C-alpha cells in the first residue's frame, strides 16, 4: 500500500506538502498538480487508522438498537444511512442485543474510540444503561423516550398522541369496547403504550378493566396470534389496538382462521405503519410513528452536534399520524 511518503517522493515534494494538498490548504499550482498526479499514479488512499490516531476522529457513527428483525428499526436504519451517506461518516451497526448485559458490554467498548458518536434506541429501561450513556465521552443521540436524569440530543415520537389518534378514530366509527394487545411491559414502548391507553380510555369515559389489556410475549406476529388466542371472551370487544403492526398481523391471522370479520366484528389498528400494513387483507389501519424520519433526524442531530460540540442539547418531538385503511373502515 502506497503511503503519503511514497507520494511525496514520487512528486518530488515533502510529506507535508502532500498532506496540505489532500486537506485543501493552499499550495502552489505546480506543486498541487504534481502531487495529484503522483496520487493518481500510485492509487494512494490515506490510511484511516493513522488519520484517526492523529486527529482523534474515526469518521464512524455507531447505530445501536435491539433487534433488526423489527421492520420499524430497519426503517430507522435506512433513515440514518441515508442521512449519513452524504456525509464523510460511515455507519456501524450494532444490533441483536438479547440482554441488558450485552448492551452494557457494548456501551463499554465505546471508550475505544472506534466511533465518533452513538445513536442509540434502547428498548429496555435500565438504570445501568442510562448511567453508562451519561458517562460516555462522545456525542450521543437517543432515539426514544429520554430516561430521567439524562441530557443528550433526543428524538422521540409522541406515542401517547398516537394512541389518542387511534382511540378517537375508533370512537368516531362507533366503537366503545376497546382492547389493547400490548408488547412486553419490560420494554419502554410497552410501558408507554399501556399508560397512554389507560389514560385515553379514561379520558373518553370508556369501559376499562384489567382485561382490556392483553400482554403479548414479544412484538411479533406469532406473539400477537397467541395473545388473541388467550382472550376468553373476544366478543366483549369491538375494537383492538395492537402495540405494533406485527402483533396486529397475528391478530388478523387469528380472525381470518376463526371467521371473525374485520372490521365489522372487530376493528383493528396497528402501530408503526410498516409496509406490511398496506399488504394485509383487509389492509391495516395504523399509527405511523415515522421511524425512517426519526432515523434521519437522529443522524442530522448527530452531524450537527459533531460540527458544533458546544450547543445545548436538543429534543425533537415527532408527531404520529393515523393512516386509515380497511381494518377500521370497510371500503
Partner DNA sequence: TTGTACGCGTTATCAG
Partner DNA sequence: CTGATAACGCGTACAA
- Summarize as ranges the residues that interact with a copy of itself (CB under 8 A): 1, 43, 45-50, 52-53, 56, 58, 60, 68-69, 71, 74, 77-78, 81-82, 85, 90-96, 108-109, 111-114, 137, 221, 249, 252-253, 256, 275-276, 278-281
| Alpha carbons 221 and 133: distance in angstroms, whole number | 32
Interaction partner, residue 95 (DNA, a copy of itself, none; CB < 5-8 Å by kind)? a copy of itself
Q: How many residues are listed for the chain in this entry?
A: 331
44 within 8 A of 55, measured Cβ to Cβ: no
Q: What is the 3-state secondary structure (H, E, C) of 60-100?
A: EEEEEECCCCCHHHHHHHHHHHHHHHCCCCEEEEECCCCCH
CB 217 to a copy of itself: min, Å: 17
Place of cell 382485561: 211
Q: Which is nearer to a copy of itself, 62 or 196 (CB)?
A: 62
Interaction partner, residue 313 (DNA, a copy of itself, none; CB < 5-8 Å by kind)? none
195 within 8 A of 245, measured Cβ to Cβ: no
Q: Which is nearer to DNA, 4 or 142 (CB)?
A: 4
# binding residues, DNA (CB under 7 A): 28
* DSSP H stretches of helix in the chain: 4-11, 15-22, 29-42, 48-55, 71-85, 100-109, 127-135, 159-172, 188-203, 221-229, 245-257, 276-279, 291-307
**Alpha-carbon dihedral angle through residues 190, 195, 197, 199, given to the nearest 10 degrees:** -170
CB 38 to DNA: min, Å: 12
52 within 8 A of 23, measured Cβ to Cβ: no
CB 139 to DNA: min, Å: 19
**Alpha-carbon dihedral angle through residues 309, 311, 313, 317, given to the nearest 10 degrees:** -110
Q: Which residues pair with 239 in a beta bridge?
A: 178, 267
- Tell me the backbone φ, ψ of residue 261, rounded to 5 degrees: -85, 135
Interface map 6-35 toward DNA (x if CB under 7 A): ------xxxxxx-xx-xx--xxx-xx----
Q: Which is nearer to DNA, 32 or 265 (CB)?
A: 32
Interaction partner, residue 251 (a copy of itself, DNA, none; CB < 5-8 Å by kind)? none
Q: Which is nearer to a copy of itself, 171 or 256 (CB)?
A: 256
| Alpha carbons 84 and 61: distance in angstroms, whole number | 9
Interaction partner, residue 137 (a copy of itself, DNA, none; CB < 5-8 Å by kind)? a copy of itself
Q: Which is nearer to a copy of itself, 137 or 205 (CB)?
A: 137
Q: Would you tell me how many other CB atoms lie within 10 Å of the CB of residue 62?
A: 22
- Tell me the backbone φ, ψ of residue 105, rounded to 5 degrees: -60, -45
Interface map 34-63 toward DNA (x if CB under 7 A): ----------xxxx--xx-xxx--------
Interaction partner, residue 256 (DNA, a copy of itself, none; CB < 5-8 Å by kind)? a copy of itself
Interaction partner, residue 134 (DNA, a copy of itself, none; CB < 5-8 Å by kind)? none
| Strands ordered across the beta sheet of 285-288 | 213-215, 178-182, 239-242, 267-271, 285-288, 321-323
Interaction partner, residue 168 (a copy of itself, DNA, none; CB < 5-8 Å by kind)? none
CB 45 to DNA: min, Å: 7
| Alpha carbons 116 and 91: distance in angstroms, whole number | 11
Q: Which is nearer to DNA, 88 or 128 (CB)?
A: 88
Restricting to residues 54-113, name those near DNA by CB under 7 A: 54-55
Interaction partner, residue 23 (a copy of itself, DNA, none; CB < 5-8 Å by kind)? DNA
Positions that interact with DNA (CB under 7 A): 1, 3-5, 12-17, 19-20, 22-23, 26-28, 30-31, 44-47, 50-51, 53-55
Amino acid at each position: 500500500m502506497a503511503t503519503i511518503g511514497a507520494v511525496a517522493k514520487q512528486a518530488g515534494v515533502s510529506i507535508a506538502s502532500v498532506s496540505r494538498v489532500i486537506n485543501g490548504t493552499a499550495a502552489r499550482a505546480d506543486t498541487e498538480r504534481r502531487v495529484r498526479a503522483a496520487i493518481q499514479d500510485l492509487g494512494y488512499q490515506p490510511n484511516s487508522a493513522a488519520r484517526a490516531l492523529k486527529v482523534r476522529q474515526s469518521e464512524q457513527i455507531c447505530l445501536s438498537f435491539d433487534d433488526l428483525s423489527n421492520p420499524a428499526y430497519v426503517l430507522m436504519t435506512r433513515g440514518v444511512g441515508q442521512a449519513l451517506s452524504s456525509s464523510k461518516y460511515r455507519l456501524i451497526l450494532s444490533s441483536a442485543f438479547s440482554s441488558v448485559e450485552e448492551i452494557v458490554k457494548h456501551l463499554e467498548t465505546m471508550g475505544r474510540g472506534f466511533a465518533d458518536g452513538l445513536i442509540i434506541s434502547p428498548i429496555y429501561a435500565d438504570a445501568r444503561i442510562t448511567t453508562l450513556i451519561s458517562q460516555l465521552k462522545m456525542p450521543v443521540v437517543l432515539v426514544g423516550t429520554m430516561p430521567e436524569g439524562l441530557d443528550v440530543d433526543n428524538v422521540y415520537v409522541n406515542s401517547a398522541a398516537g394512541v389518542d389518534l387511534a382511540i378517537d378514530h375508533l370512537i368516531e366509527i362507533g366503537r366503545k369496547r376497546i382492547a389493547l394487545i400490548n408488547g412486553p411491559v419490560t420494554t419502554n414502548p410497552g410501558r408507554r403504550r399501556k399508560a397512554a391507553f389507560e389514560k385515553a380510555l379514561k379520558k373518553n369515559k370508556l369501559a376499562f378493566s384489567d382485561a382490556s389489556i392483553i400482554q403479548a410475549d414479544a412484538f411479533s406476529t406469532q406473539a400477537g396470534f397467541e395473545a388473541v388466542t388467550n382472550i376468553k371472551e373476544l366478543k366483549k370487544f369491538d375494537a383492538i389496538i395492537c402495540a405494533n403492526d406485527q402483533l396486529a398481523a397475528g391478530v388478523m391471522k387469528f380472525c381470518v382462521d376463526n371467521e371473525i370479520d374485520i372490521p365489522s366484528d372487530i376493528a383493528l389498528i396497528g402501530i408503526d405503519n410498516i409496509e406490511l400494513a398496506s399488504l394485509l387483507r383487509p389492509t391495516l389501519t395504523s399509527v405511523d410513528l415515522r421511524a425512517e424520519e426519526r432515523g434521519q433526524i437522529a443522524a442530522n442531530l448527530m452531524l450537527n452536534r459533531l460540527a458544533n460540540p458546544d450547543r445545548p442539547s436538543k429534543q425533537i418531538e415527532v408527531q404520529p399520524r393515523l393512516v386509515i385503511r380497511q381494518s377500521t373502515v370497510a371500503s
